[in-house]
Structure 1
């Protein structure tokens, strides 16, 4: 995280109303009208200014549905602040209990039908990467095995993604085990990739995720959208949210910017 981004994050967190807005968005996306009604003592103009400050700091993501403007929490910048200062002082044995890594390994997750219910979740995240869109696109496709640290088929497995409609995002193990992480549904070089894939979920679930790349000066803004619907465990949305933060906000970003490869799990 660059110092300019860091300054914007701290500025956004310096006002109690903006912190309260983030607390509300932590529970789920809200329309601008809903947020306005949540602060009757604050004018609509002031609420809009607070939302603009949060958007400038990349702490919220805006998506429009019809005439409504939906505001989503984007916790990636907070995760980056945490990793820059807080995580360095934690025990090396400490780790997140809510990452995709542990999810696909089955740790702390009941993968039986018990507890599943008809539900859905939608995740929206944005990560700014100091690189051109073509370099980020290459990392998301040709080089995905270099930074995608999570594995379903054991140590030494190989990950590949074929960037064409019908292409597979597949993991091939050394002992005959193979896993399909996703199927490419749409691709536009250096701009967008859409896939369908369960990403560790099982059963009657439809899951789709996409990466959109937008140039931003000398950087690229990577926009993730992940939507799942079906028989879901109530924890799956939260766990995938945390996992994406780590995969994209840490592993992909550090690989593209610094050539750093994570330890493979």
Structure 2
């Protein structure tokens, strides 16, 4: 039985949810329902208190409603991030098999990743660009909401929190931690200066270093960061290994490696003589 199920299609791309996604939705909702951090923001000469998190929202029913709405909207933003990658890939003729939302985020499954550095860089930067646009848009809308409704209103808090997190996601994804988006941009840059396999090896090495640093920071206070570090390290290792195997074989035909010196033996030939022919 598949561990992911399809919930729909966007532009012909199947959108799938992994079972772990059903776990992270309530976890994110609970986390943001129990925290509040206030920012003093000057909007057109007047200072407003904009809250990050929903712990200060009353009554409790409204707090939980907005927390779960935020959690769902956040992962819609993650899906849009992956669609950003996918739409650019489709412009280059690359088929997108599906987009799957996991506990760690989204993954666009493509038939192939282009070897052209410029194409790979544009595909990689598309996702963080979408997150940045969403983040900036939500922040600006939160300013407008604060002017009209007040900084402490739940809608203002929702917009500010969603915008803030999307901007963080943009910055985080642009870290040069291969195979994250920033790491793919780094590999594309390396690939303009050296063979593709070597570019992947260097980018993966830097990615694994970032994974170790994230793991250390996670030990100091964020178990979730440890899980992300583990995922990045394993993914970087796997892609480095697969690239080292696949790329040298591109363009190689069966006739290039098959044996053409065929030997025949009779059924009566002794086994030791057959072994000498091998």
Question: Of the two structures, which has the highest relative contact order with CA contacts closer than 8 Å and spacing of 6 or more?
Answer: 1
The structure with the largest helix share of the pair is: 2
The answer, yes or no, to whether TM exceeds 0.5 is no
- TM-score, length of structure 1 as denominator length: 0.26
